Structures are given as structure tokens and as C-alpha cells.
Chain A
């Protein structure tokens, strides 16, 4: 069991690792969160019994994303070398990339807000289920910044680059139905059951996924197992 985290809680049950972003109310991704998250990913890499990962937020929200002031402060810290600070940001994206490249299924269960870096994290998951109350967006450009942890490319891979250009430059938020229409989420589930649904889905596909992670297989679970009730 992995313990000692302040901003994340992690439990491993029957091979399913449940990562809960845990800084209520908004589960903001602070600099402290990212350093714990990177440590957690290193731990995950060593867990032989891990067969699926579910990511959700504590309480009513997935996460409101990175604390922009913290990040701006980090890259602007004159006392630290710029390269060193960028190195920390690069580590964050490496952790996200691990989740995408791992052989086991990674599922994001999304309630409430899922904005900025939090949406980027969700986009690196293999599956996204959300409640009808979910709110998505990459609003970075409205703060004179840009999404910095792979969100632009991952969004384009799902919804096509034309839609991604629009959503990223505009930076506005949108709801569950729109996210489904743009193929940015796989299914809308009643919000109180999102986590439960994701855990059940993880249990159902965990054995097969590792063995036959082929496009055809993924297509099949999208059409069959997503109908799971």
C-alpha cells in the first residue's frame, strides 16, 4: 500500500488501483500535488499486481487543474535555474505519458469540473466516463498561457485538430453532452454512479486489456462493454 500522500489518496483493491485527487473542494493541482503525483507514478510502475487504474476526484469535482500562480511562480523563480524548473514541468508530462503508454487500462471518472491540467490528465487516460454535471475546458489561453502538459495534442487526437484549434484558442468551457459529441468522453453516467461505474468497468476489462490491446479490441469494448449497466 502506498501511503504518505497529502494531496492524493490511493487504494489497491483486487488489482485495481484507485487514484483520488484529494485537495477539496476543487482538488487543485498545486506544485505539491504534482511532486506527489510524479512519486505515485513511480510507485505504480513497480506494482506487479496492478491491473487497472481509475482516477477520480474527491467530493463533487474531478479537479480544477493547475494553480496558475504556482506554475508561473515556478518558472519565474530567478533563484532557480530555468532549465531546472522546466525539468519539473517535463516530469509532469512524463507521468501523464506513462498513463497513456502503460499496458493496463487507465480510466478517468469525472464529476463536476475537469479543467486545464486536470482535463489534460483525463485526456491521457484510455477511457473517460463523466457525470451529466461535468464541465470541461482548456482555458489557459484566456490567461495568456497555453495548455502545457500535452492537452492540445491529446485533444486533437480525439476530436480532430479543427475542433481542437477552436476549443484551445477560445478557451471556453463546455458540458458533458458537448464533450460526448466531440468524442472527448466515452460515456455519460448518472453523476452519483460515475466512480462505481468506472470501477466495475475496470474490473470487467482488466484481464483482457493487457493481452489484447488492439484497436479492434478497444473498438469492441467501446461498443459492448460500455453498455454495462
Chain B
């Protein structure tokens, strides 16, 4: 286990668990809640096959505290620089080439919801609550929440949630497809860990990387280029597999 300032990192048999640790609400004390470099190096050095992001205790994260936002706004250093670091961290999480699950219980508000939206898969417990409460305080989501929610929801729903600042529960979040599944288990971390172990068991790191890359390409490249890339990756795996087979004795 490694403790950073407001997070804790554990490697459980090749699956990483990153816990937001500032209980009870796990407020984010700075937009870059863990150094992007630290996260990146950890994943690479430990050859992690998957990552779970969760909150310590009964909540995922309440996001940033209002007083911290206002004092950041009044500080001498431009606020945009800090926000940019936070956004870069979230895009780094989105771009990770291993599956990342947000294991959500309790509150998942503001910056917390933005972290969850940056993950590839969202599981939540029945008691989870979601909101972008920023507009109630004369603000708006600042770490890309408007964009990431907009990608998942039809425009009117996204507008209602961001401008209305309403809170939604797990059932609503599931029907709006903000979360992928509601889990019955009381511990979302255990469940997510088990899920990642199951889907990555027996899969080499390279296959996991390529599958994630293919999904990313589909969003970012023109269709023909994405298909070409997929073929290239497939051919590379096939060549490797052919080598392995020729080394393996015939059964």
C-alpha cells in the first residue's frame, strides 16, 4: 500500500485500487487529486491489468469544497493552471489502456462525478447519489463534466442535470445510462475487483492494451483508419501467436 496526500494505492494481484481518502466526503483538495505522473508510473511499473477508483468509507467523493474553490479563485496563481492539471489527470484516466472502473457508493458530486465519468465503467451501490450541484452556487462543472455528460446523455437531459443541479439516485442514473450497473454487494470495491479479475484472467497485457486502444480509436479516428489500426494490431498478435505455437509441442 502506498499513501499519497489524499489518495491510497494498492496492487491486488495485478489490479490496482486507487482510493480517494479524505473522509467522510472525500473532498478533492486540489483538482489534480493524484499526480498524473505518479499514477502513470505506478500502472506501468506494476504492469496493472485494470484499475478501480473508489472513495474511502461510505462515499465516493463530494467533489471540491466551495470555500476551496473560492480561495483558489482569489489566489495569486491563476486558477486556470490548477484546473488544467485536473483536467489533464482526468484525460489521462480516460486514455488509460487498461479498463478503469469507478466503484461508487454514497455521494458522487461535482468533481467526484467528473472522476467517475472519466472511468470506462461505472458500478454503483443502491444508495449512490449523483449531482452537478455547481450551478446552485453560481458555478458550473469545471473539470470537463459538461463535455463528458454530454457524450452520454441527450442534450435536454444533460442540460437539466447541469443547469438544474438536481440530485439523482442510482435507479435514475442507471436508466439515464450514467452508470452501467447497480450492484447488490455492499462493498463496491470488492465487486469491481472481482469483475476486473474475471475479465482479465488469462489475458496478456498486450491484448488488454490493444482492445482498449481499438475502443479509443473508434471514438477518435475516421472509421477506415480505425479499422486499419485494428487490423495492424490483430496481425501483430497473430504473428506472436504463430511464434508461440511453433515453439509449443504439438498435442
Contacts and interface: CB of A to CB of B under 8 A. Distances in A.
Contacts of B223: 97, 100-101
B172 interface: no
Interface in B207-237: 207-208, 210-212, 214-215, 217-218, 223-224, 226-228, 230-235, 237
A11 interface: no
Interface stretch (A26-34, A160-168, A194-202): A160-168
A116 to B, nearest CB: 12
B107 to A, nearest CB: 22
Contact of A144 (B207, B211, B228): B207
B203 A169 contact: yes
Interface in A79-94: 82, 85-86, 89-90, 93-94
B215 A153 contact: yes
Contact of B122 (A144, A145, A162, A170): A162
B244 interface: yes
Contacts of A164: 215
Interface string B232-251: 11110111111111000000
A114 to B, nearest CB: 19
Say which size band chain B's interface belongs to.
35 or more
A145 B233 CA distance: 9
Contact of B227 (A94, A144, A156, A160): A94
B37 interface: no
Contacts, number: 122
A76 B242 CA distance: 7
Contact of A146 (B122, B180, B210): B210
B204 to A, nearest CB: 7
Given A90-B228, A97-B227, A146 B242 contact: no
A165 B226 contact: no
Say which size band chain A's interface belongs to.
35 or more
Contacts of B232: 86
Contacts of A85: 235
A165 B212 contact: yes
Interface in A132-175: 141-150, 152-153, 156-157, 160-166, 168-170
Contact of A145 (B227, B228, B241): B241
Interface stretch (A44-52, A67-75, A218-226): A67-75
Given A86-B231, A93-B231, A145 B239 contact: no
A165 B121 contact: yes
B212 A157 contact: no
B52 to A, nearest CB: 14
B12 interface: no
A110 B62 CA distance: 48
A78 to B, nearest CB: 10
Contact of B211 (A90, A163, A165): A165
A126 to B, nearest CB: 15
A218 to B, nearest CB: 16
Contacts of A169: 99, 199-200, 203, 207-208, 211
Contacts of B235: 75, 82, 85-86, 89, 148
Contact of B207 (A73, A89, A96, A141): A141
A4 to B, nearest CB: 27
B231 A145 contact: no
8 closest Cβ pairs, A-B complex: A148-B234, A153-B218, A76-B242, A162-B180, A162-B121, A93-B227, A169-B199, A152-B214
Interface of A: 71-73, 75-76, 82, 85-86, 89-90, 93-94, 96-97, 100-101, 141-150, 152-153, 156-157, 160-166, 168-170
15 contacts: A72-B245, A85-B235, A89-B231, A97-B227, A141-B203, A143-B241, A145-B237, A145-B241, A149-B230, A150-B230, A152-B211, A153-B217, A156-B215, A157-B218, A165-B199
